[in-house]
A and B are shown apart, each in its own frame.
Chain A
């Protein structure tokens, strides 16, 4: 739920020596992203997308670095990051499986698909397999209702899924 609030101010965050927002990334943003917008704040989503693309989630330290780079308070960036479903503030599995559960997909059998994935991977939506390979999530409409049921695995959309063919897809993801 988009409106659930963030951690308290007392939360300890994990830190590492080298920055997430490297000088190379900063230079890239300065050259390619910031000139597009009249404010630096507007680059928040593009910056968060890039960080997530690199690190597969957005660590709190990276949020602080992004805030310093954008010239806003860390709370501002955290506020934005925590609002959007696609931004992950915790590490997740190598493959993120998002199974659509909205109406067209439910009508055409998302239920049995989800059951099959759950039993195959031994996890419920919201969980990650112990080997860190898969994280399972349910999603709302992926804009593929005409080819329901469907699921997004990282950035690849699978359409017209049958339980069997998706089984093979999962096996092929190492």
Chain B
């Protein structure tokens, strides 16, 4: 299995099709001359519902981390009531290891704008807000330049080719965040867009029903929307000819892994970077074929499949197939954003866990006690272990803590706490011996485990 032609990176020179040194901004003219906006033109000739059906048929899953089927999300919108409806594009990209959306924003922002315009037509959304992380100064400017070009060519704005939507000429705006990872969580993003602190909301109601400004809202990741133009242009069957498809034993109604995906690889490899491949590519192939292998003197020890919230793959998972169903198969949380962090034999896994715990402790928004306190204590305990002051009990305590915080155990509002606990728990489980060697074997009289603590 290998991607036969580039899709998302069609205009962005990327190995094996091109040299990253040749990358430059793809403007409107270059974009349209190479088939851009053809998917939009085709969509505009179709009824909105028919466009949603194509995306549904393609079984396009969200590329922002959760893998939720985009077509299904679009069909959750209530019927039109004459009022406003919004699109919010998630360009917050703040999870360590994740830098794939940036590639599209830097070089081919029109691919995103095409997807935005199609989804606005399909879902009857009158205004799109692209929520971009504050640190992406350069990317926000590039995006604005592309948006200005799109307005000049009547993709958006007065007399737009989309026509009036909910009695408005469709608009597309950049909205800059200001340095808070939690604003990548979809309802944190909405609060932030509304001018408040980015505190995630309790769901339901889901954003499709009451999202931005309490109106029906669709939230999609940059890469998800960028995929929509090519799908509309070439059809669902073409999209489904790529990727791993449905894993064995998965019922036909369950979401599967179709299509190409951006993989951002960092860490101890020769050539880190963003590469495009089919879902289901082996980790080993990604590293050997695209990244030129491990660095000289480095041997593979572990990898994080996609953003640090997903947990780790261990030394024996070198050949792991990277698709959306990776979680159950390899005991991690999932594929996430496919921001792969590769680690070699010299990596101290205790330090890795400490680094990750610090991130989540720092970024917890503080609403839910298990997350605010739990992430903080994880960081403290891991720092203590790293400094040589930990005991065996600390390892039990970490496991107990991580099993009790998160939206999956049902103790928190959002998934940040799940990310923290999966990361720490999988590192601990897969590298238990390394942790054991670092702590003193002392146990207090009543160990937590013995006391039924977990």
Interface: B207 (CB within 8 A)? no
Q: 8 Å CB contacts to B: which residues of A132-147? A: 139-147
Interface: B319 (CB within 8 A)? no
- Chain B residues with CB under 8 Å of A106's CB are 351, 355
Q: Which residue of B lies closest to A52 (CB)?
A: B178
Check B352 against A146 for contact (C-beta < 8 Å). no
Check A103 against B352 for contact (C-beta < 8 Å). yes
- Chain B residues with CB under 8 Å of A85's CB are 178-180
Check A157 against B195 for contact (C-beta < 8 Å). no
Binary interface profile of B, 334-373, with partner A (CB < 8 Å = 1, else 0)? 0000010101000100011001100101111111000010
Interface: A158 (CB within 8 A)? no
Interface: A46 (CB within 8 A)? yes
Check B213 against A103 for contact (C-beta < 8 Å). no
Binary interface profile of B, 124-140, with partner A (CB < 8 Å = 1, else 0)? 00010000011111100
Q: A139 to B372: give the CA distance in the assembly, Å.
A: 19
Q: Interface stretch among A11-19, A36-44, A112-120, A165-173?
A: A36-44
Name the contact of A104 in the complex, choosing from B84, B96, B134, B137 (C-beta under 8 A). B96
Binary interface profile of B, 152-194, with partner A (CB < 8 Å = 1, else 0)? 0000000000000000000101011111111000000000111
Name the contact of A42 in the complex, choosing from B194, B363, B372 (C-beta under 8 A). B194
Interface: B102 (CB within 8 A)? yes
Interface: A69 (CB within 8 A)? no
Name the contact of A107 in the complex, choosing from B175, B264, B268 (C-beta under 8 A). B268
- Chain B residues with CB under 8 Å of A49's CB are 134, 176, 178
Check B267 against A2 for contact (C-beta < 8 Å). no
Interface: A161 (CB within 8 A)? no
Interface: A124 (CB within 8 A)? no
Q: How large is the interface on B (under 10, 10 to 19, 20 to 34, 35 or more residues)?
A: 35 or more
Q: Which residue of A lies closest to B291 (CB)?
A: A146
Check A143 against B136 for contact (C-beta < 8 Å). yes
The total of interchain contacts (Cβ-Cβ below 8 angstroms) comes to 155
Check B96 against A103 for contact (C-beta < 8 Å). yes
Q: A157 to B135: give the CA distance in the assembly, Å.
A: 9
Check B171 against A2 for contact (C-beta < 8 Å). no
Check A83 against B197 for contact (C-beta < 8 Å). yes
Binary interface profile of A, 64-95, with partner B (CB < 8 Å = 1, else 0)? 00000010000010011001111100000000
Name the contact of A3 in the complex, choosing from B304, B355, B372 (C-beta under 8 A). B372
Check B99 against A144 for contact (C-beta < 8 Å). yes
Q: Which residue of B lies closest to A140 (CB)?
A: B359
Interface: B308 (CB within 8 A)? yes
Check A3 against B195 for contact (C-beta < 8 Å). no
Interface: A152 (CB within 8 A)? yes
Interface: A25 (CB within 8 A)? no
Interface CB pairs A-B, < 8 A, 5: A1-B366, A41-B196, A140-B362, A152-B135, A157-B137
Closest 8 CB pairs of A and B: A3-B366, A44-B195, A85-B179, A86-B179, A84-B178, A83-B197, A102-B96, A145-B266
Chain A interface residues toward B at CB < 8 A = 1-3, 36-39, 41-46, 48-49, 70, 76, 79-80, 83-87, 101-104, 106-108, 139-148, 152, 155-157
